[in-house]
Chains A and B, each alone.
Chain A
Amino acid sequence: MRFRTQIRNITTFTKLTQSICSIGKLAWFRLSEDEIRIVVHDLEGTQFWATLTIPTLFEDYSVTSNNNNVIHLEIPLQQLHRALRSCATASEAILRLSKRASDNIPILSLTITTTAAHSAVAGPSLVTQEIPVRVLAAPAVNAIREPHAPQGDVSVYLPPLSQLRGIVDRFNKLSAFGATSSEPHRLEVSANAAGTFRIALKAADVDVQSQWERLKVTPETEASGREKDRFAVVRIDGRDWVKVLRIGSFAKRVVACFCEGFALVFYVFLTAEGEGDDTVLTYYMSSFSD
């Protein structure tokens, strides 16, 4: 079992780990010869699934194993993210699967060649970060299944996530008003085929709503023949949602797909439309029943 790669796109990898850190503590990585799949589903209600092409993150990539050259790893995200932060000024960063000599545990070893900003004289320094990992066997992996969402009722392109996140934060503050902290901060999120997107909070003491209009809807929604003004509604926890919205730091386009009363699915594209690479990150948030 061998895995070795050079990290091609350190910024993307760092931002990705940063934004999924909030979803869960552990991530499952499936490394195969032609793609990388990353799954996080620690936190109740939210799951993260992404299939990335190799060049999105890596180059000089090689993976070999007895299982059709596929390796499944369970990686603690905090440690991975902390390690990647050392790469900020790296001239080269190499990620390798190996075993630590001292205690024999499997590790992802990240070797970084970097030059310290304050170093006046000497050449580059070598930083090694060892991230503990668990190698998963095939049976354990088979239990991990992508959630099955029915055909979405309405799909709209969301306004910029940074803007949206600020607003959701305010909703969360309002919903915390008068509620006990253990209660979920339930928001009612809805959209229709005319491109109207609403966030609403209905509680004993507050009734607030924000609305965006004339957002772009996907061609499928356009073609579905659904009445333009009929809203598809889901109820989600506002605090969980804010964590999802952290991906805004590098998302180019985000489509929210409303499955009425069932789930809200976010498709996050890392490229603008028509740029080719259609790498997509998917977040599933299941809806509370009313």
Chain B
Amino acid sequence: MSTTTLTFTLTPTSIGRIHDALSCLSKFSNEISLIASSTQLTLSALNSTKSAYTAAHLQAARFFSEYAYQGAQSQFSCRLQTKALLSVFRQRMGEGRDKGTAIQRCEVRLHNSGRRQRLQVRLHCANGVLKTYQLTYEEVDVVAALFDRGSCRQRWRIAAALLKEYIEHFGPRAEQIEISSASRSGRAAFTSFTEKLTDGREILRLPLQTSVAIDTSDFEVFDVDDGVSIAVSLKDFKAIANYAGTLDVPVEAFYSQPGKPMQIGYVRDGVDMEFTLMTASRTSQPSAAMGKIEPRVRQEIVQRLPSQSQAPPSSPPSSSRQSQPAPQTPPPPPPQPRSLTESTDSSLYRLPTPRPAPPAEPPLFLNYSSAEDDDEESAGMGTALEYERGDFQLGWNTGQEAGAARASNKRVIEDFEDSEEESEDDGVGPTQQTGYVPKGLFD
């Protein structure tokens, strides 16, 4: 196992920036992936239905006061609990006012030698106070959405504050937001909607349906064909707009047509945010289609996996999974029911019951493209999905090309672990300082 060392230093301002970015990512997933290379550090989150991927690229040269990455591979990736990361960087707010404990510097060090997997965060505060946090992480191959902005016919750019102001009109409960263009008449509209059938008294529980029609000259750039309209999750879009609104930047969006992904991005002070969202069209009912897709793919994988288990995992089991006995073989795929609902009765799960899935967004990552080594598994999956979803192309960037095939298998396994860990993982609290800090101070 090769050794990887990542160290970087943050100023108080950039601590705040990281926290803001993390809290935005936390709206998408309760696990955050960290990908370190010599030029940038990427924090990313993929939501549970894989319909939204978000990444914050922190530029080594611009964002950090010091940054060093050393490793045998060109990049190192791991996964952390969002809550844990957030709580480490959170305290800044109150302490800024209290001069006595104001943070002066933050040092982060990750040393991965295979045995001990800890991310150490040291906060140097006023009056010589030093706070140390140790976070557990899980070394995994991380996937990233591939998105080609150049191929998008539709694009717009708008000031973040203005976008936030418009999006504030939307109540929290509607499911989706449609972005439509009537560029010929110089208008564009954001409209929320909820695809739900109701009757009688239930209608009073329906969320507000909001529409904001604006002049396209409110956009700095509005290059969208007349009549094009796409829908994305309102919750995601609100999270993006709200976070952007705290920065004074233009927000750019790129898309082509419903059913293909959309990317929204903004750049500020060495932080490059990108959000890749799956889009739908309002008239179609992708939720029905999706209910079929997901479980079917998953079942197929579960059935095949045992025969594939000779491939050794490229990472040892994380400390949070110590109960797993054999570290040299991948953990046996957990019985399907647990991955879906945490029920223990496996007989219930022969039926392709979807997870409590998001209403009308199809998953974002459908076509798993493995770079060189075309693996049967992922190819099969790709076909199955393409059959359902049409010709939409979106790739994974695993960053480890040689191990792509293995990586895609492993990824599947991890998917199953995801939901399991959420329930089991109480051991990894928001901070891991208990047991460490007292030793350092008093031993």
Contacts and interface: CB of A to CB of B under 8 A. Distances in A.
B212 A134 contact: no
Contacts of B1: none
Contacts of A100: 209
A131 interface: yes
Contacts of B162: 116, 118-119
Interface in B174-214: 193, 197-198, 201, 203-214
A131 B210 CA distance: 9
A79 B159 contact: no
A187 B316 CA distance: 62
Contacts of B208: 79, 82-83, 129-131
Given A105-B198, A116-B218, A117-B165, A125 B212 contact: yes
B195 to A, nearest CB: 10
B171 interface: yes
Contacts of A102: 193
Interface in A107-163: 107, 116-119, 121-123, 125-134
Range, interface on chain B: 20 to 34
Chain A contact-residue range equals 20 to 34
Interface in A70-87: 74-76, 79, 82-83, 86
A126 B171 contact: no
Contacts of A233: none
B204 A26 contact: yes
B242 to A, nearest CB: 14
B159 A118 contact: yes
Given A105-B203, A117-B165, A127-B169, A122 B211 contact: no
Contacts of A107: 209
Contacts of A117: 165
B230 interface: no
A86 B168 CA distance: 8
B217 interface: yes
B161 interface: yes
Contacts of A130: 208-211
B215 interface: yes
B209 A86 contact: no
Interface of A: 26, 74-76, 79, 82-83, 86, 100, 102-103, 105-107, 116-119, 121-123, 125-134
7 contacts: A83-B210, A102-B193, A105-B198, A122-B218, A125-B215, A129-B169, A132-B203
Interface of B: 159, 161-162, 165-166, 169, 171, 193, 197-198, 201, 203-215, 217-218
